[in-house]
Structures are given as C-alpha cells and as structure tokens.
Structure 1
Amino acid sequence: MEKNGLLRGLVHTYHGKDQPVDYYLHLDDEKIPLNDLLGSDITITYLGQKNCISCGRKTNKTFNSGYCYPCFTNLAENDLCIVKPHECHFDNGTCRDESFGETYCMIPHYVYLALSSDVKVGLTRKHNQLKRWVDQGAIRAIPIAELPTRRMAGKLEFHLSQYLPDKTNWRKMLKGDVTDKDLLAVRDEVYQHFPEQFNPFKLNENEWVDITYPILETLDKINSMSLDKTETIQGKLLGAKAQYLILSTGVFQTRKHAGYHVAFRG
C-alpha cells in the first residue's frame, strides 16, 4: 500500500482498558489503519513541500506543528494562553478570536492526574479527556476537578504544578519506564494542596481510566528521527504511543511533521 498526502499526525480510538488503542495515520482526509501493520516494514518519505494545515499556504517552515507564520501569529489556537491557560485574556477583550474563545475556552474543563512517565497534572476540555490522555501517552488517568472555564482550570493546574510536574518525560514514556502509582491515593494527597476557592469543584471519581497501547516491543535506546534530517524514515513498525510511531530504527513524532507532504508505504 502506498499513499501520498499532507501529514496531519496520528488519530486514535479508545476501546477500553482491555483492548489496545486503534491508531491511524492521518494523511489529507484519509486515515490509514496502523495496528494491522504492526511487525511490518513501513516507509515515510518527505516529498519536498510543506503547506499550512489551516490556510493551505505553501511555506518553507512550519510553526507549532503545521502552521505557516501568519496563522501562527494570528489564530487564537496558537496564542500563548493555549499553553499557559492561566494567562487567558478573553475577559479583557484581547482574545484573537472571540468565537474560538467561547467555543473552546469558556466551557467546562477538567484538571486531571495522568501517569505517563510519572504522575503529572494537566487540563483538558470536558469530553475531550481520552483524546488528550492518549496524545500524551498516559497509561492511567483520572479527572480530579471540573472548572467552568479554561482560565480557572489553568489557575488550578498552575498552582498544583508546584507539587507535581506538568510535563511528560517523552523518552521514559516511550520506553515504558513508568513507576506504578495509585492515582486515587495521589489525588487525595493533591487535594490537600487545593486553594479553598477550588474545593467546590473537586470530583470524587471511584476509579481511574487505564489505557493500553499497540506495542509489540519497546526500544532500549530512543533515537528520534526527523524528516528535516533525512528524506526517508523507514523500519519495522513496533508500535504507536502518544503521537509517536515506534520503529525498529527509532521513533518518529508525527505531529511535529504536520504540514509535510509525504509518501507512506506499508
């Protein structure tokens, strides 16, 4: 099978803790199933062109996983408050796109605990949590609070990041080098650090979500591969986790290469 198209990263479907996540390579509007290709050789070749994943403009360089520079500087989804939600400026009238803010930010958000490399704190839109957790490579996760807006969730996350990391060690995550943790016990400890004004938003879930990934084997050494350094990425497909393809030759971060025109063979 060979397909050419604009790479947009990986998409996935969660079926429950007893089944591995189904992964698909997103090329143009097509989603190529990857689980059936585990153990097979695949090739991804850069065809020498990049286009913005938003406006389609041809660009020599992409920003923030697939955008041209004008879209990077103008679109609300690329504003700094997306990665620093506690600095949301919707209320002071300087949001880049109020309709975007109303749709994606001024709605309920979860603050959660996730176990990927270690227990981390994060936030996500309500009903988007499974996508978020899989994209981060979490093997276990639980929401601990529900806030009415992204800004409020960001303020709580920022406060809790004093006690827990808010980043994932991607090398440990891909190696499966994760210490087993009881998230309910960690949550109870974290609740001791909640500022009083956030106590009414606590959740009391009885169990966490477990996530299994389609991985035949892990790598002892993580070698990151990039189409900016070599025209072709190839190797036996050993698995997929977060936004990474795990190959016998190294790992390939697909979202980082969003906007690249590639030929996929598998």
Structure 2
Amino acid sequence: MILTGHLRPLCHEYKNPIAYRLRLDDQEAPLNDFLGNTVQIDYLGTISCIYCGRKIKKSFNSGSCYPCFRDRAENDLCIVKPHLCHFHRGTCRDEAFGRAHCMQPHLVYIALSDDIKVGITRKSNAVNRWIDQGAVAALPIAEVPDRKTAGELEFHLSQFIKDKTNWRRMLKNQVADKDLTAVRSELREKIPENYAQYFLDSQQVMDFRYPQLQIPEKIKSLDLNKQAHIEGTLIGVKGQYMIFENGVINMRKYSGYKVRVVLGGKA
C-alpha cells in the first residue's frame, strides 16, 4: 500500500489491543495490519499549516504556521497551563473555541505510562487522551465543570505527584508497579476543601494494551528534518509513536509534513 499526503496525528480506537490508523490528509491505513512488515516514510520537502494550509519552512507546535501559532486559541499558553485560562476575563483568542473546548466538563485523572502522573482532559475526550499518552491504566479522580478548575486542581496535586511522562520509559514498557486506586485514596486527603465536591471515589480503572511485537532495547528518535528517508520493520505502535526496530517517530510532531508512505511486505 502506498499513500502520499500530509501527515496528521495517528487515529486510534479503544480495542484489545488498541487499533491504530495512519492518516495522510483524508487517507487512512490500518497500522496494526502491518506489524512485522517493512514500512518506508519519505519526507517530500514541503510542510503545510494544518489550520490554514499555507506552505511553510518551519512548523510550530506540531503543525502550525507562525501566524496560526500566534493567533489561534489552540496554541494559547493556557492550553499547556490550563490553570491560567483567561476565558472568564473575556480575553480568549476565540470565544467559540473556548466554549466548545474549555467551558465543558473536565476530568482530573491519574494514569500509568511509566510512573503515575496526574493530568486533565475533557470528559468527552478522555479515552483518546489516555491512549495518546501511552497509558497502560487510567483512573478519573475528579470531575469539574471547566478546564480552568481542572487546571487549578491539577496544579495543586502536581506538588505530590508528577504531571509529566518519561516517553522513553513509556516506549520501553518500563512501568512502575503501583495501584491507582490506592493512590487515589492517598490524594483524596490532599484535595483542598473547595474542590472536595468534585472528587470521584467509585470510578473503575481503565486498562490499555498496545500493538507491539517486541520491546526496543534502545530508544532512538527518528527525525524527518535530518533523515528524509525512514525505513524499517514496524514492531509496535504506542501513544503517537510508530516503533521500528531501528528507532521511533512521533507522528504528531510532523503534522503537516508531506510524505510518501509505503506499507510493504514482510521484512
């Protein structure tokens, strides 16, 4: 199978294991079907902004041209620091975006990707969020009315539990042996009184299994800006990473890059 187009983040469906699809513009290919096969990715030298479509030499924040990075609500600082959300002050870059994405019910959760981390997500997007992070297990601990409230609670809890994932350990399946329900009980005592009403104590742990034939011994990052031709046996997919026997590539990072992908026969 040969596809040519602009890369988009990997699509996935919650199954056992997770079912992944490679996306190039409006084309898709089922990646799980090509585990153990040779895959080629050739960068064709052009990048198009994923929002406005203009040709660019450099992308910002995984696919934006500079004007879209500067002006669009999707790229505002409060996306990565939600406790700084300024929608309520009337200064959101796009009020419609804010209402659709920020002024919606959010979950504060704990998840296992390498070690336990705390994070937030829109309630409607929770499963996608956990898969994108390569979590093997996740557990909501609070449901709040909006993104700012979720960010404030996450910021408070990050004093006691990290809010980052070590992506190399995640890809090597080096996961801490910890009980999410026990950690939830510990965190309950650390939640400020004004957030206690949002605490969830009856949610069940959700588990995830990823399509992997083997675990890479070393994690080498493959960079389309330095290596326009990538070729190797596909041995797994996890988070937003395609895992080859000779390295890994974060597909979200190269959103908007025009490529030719050959999904071929057995190596």
Q: TM-score, normalised by structure 1?
A: 0.98
Matching residue of 2:187? 190
The Cα of 1:48 is off from its aligned counterpart by 0.6
- 8 Å Cα contact 1:240-1:246 kept in structure 2: yes
Residue 251 of structure 1 aligns with which residue? 248
Q: Deviations over 1:35-75 (max 9, x none)?
A: 00000000000001000001100000000000100000000
1:66-87 deviation line (CA, Å, top 9, x unaligned)? 0100000000010000000000
* Identity level (%): 55
How far is 1:118 from its partner? 0.3
Matched, 1:120 2:112: no
Kept after mapping to 2: 8 A contact 1:109/1:150: yes
Equivalent runs, 1:1-266 vs 2, <5 Å:
1-15=1-15, 19-266=16-263
Q: Cα distance, 1:30 vs. partner?
A: 1.4
Could you list the runs of 5+ residues in structure 1 that have no partner in the other structure? none
| Residue-by-residue CA offset, 1:128-155 (whole Å, 9 max, x unaligned) | 1100000000000010000001000000
What's the secondary structure of 2:97's corresponding residue?
A: helix
Equivalent position amino acid for 1:216 in 2: L
Q: Distance in 1 between matches of 2:202 and 2:117?
A: 17
Matched residues in 1 for 2:188 and 2:65: separation? 42
Q: Is the 8 A contact 2:140 2:203 kept in 1?
A: no
Q: Determine if contact 1:142/1:205 at 8 Å carries over to the other structure.
A: no
Q: CA deviation at 1:31?
A: 1.5
RMSD over aligned Cα, in angstroms?
0.7
Paired letter, 1:50 = I
Counterpart-to-counterpart distance in 1, 2:218 and 2:140 = 32
SS at match of 2:152: helix
CA distance in 2, matches of 1:160, 1:102: 25
> Structure 1 residue runs of 4+, over 6 Å off?
none
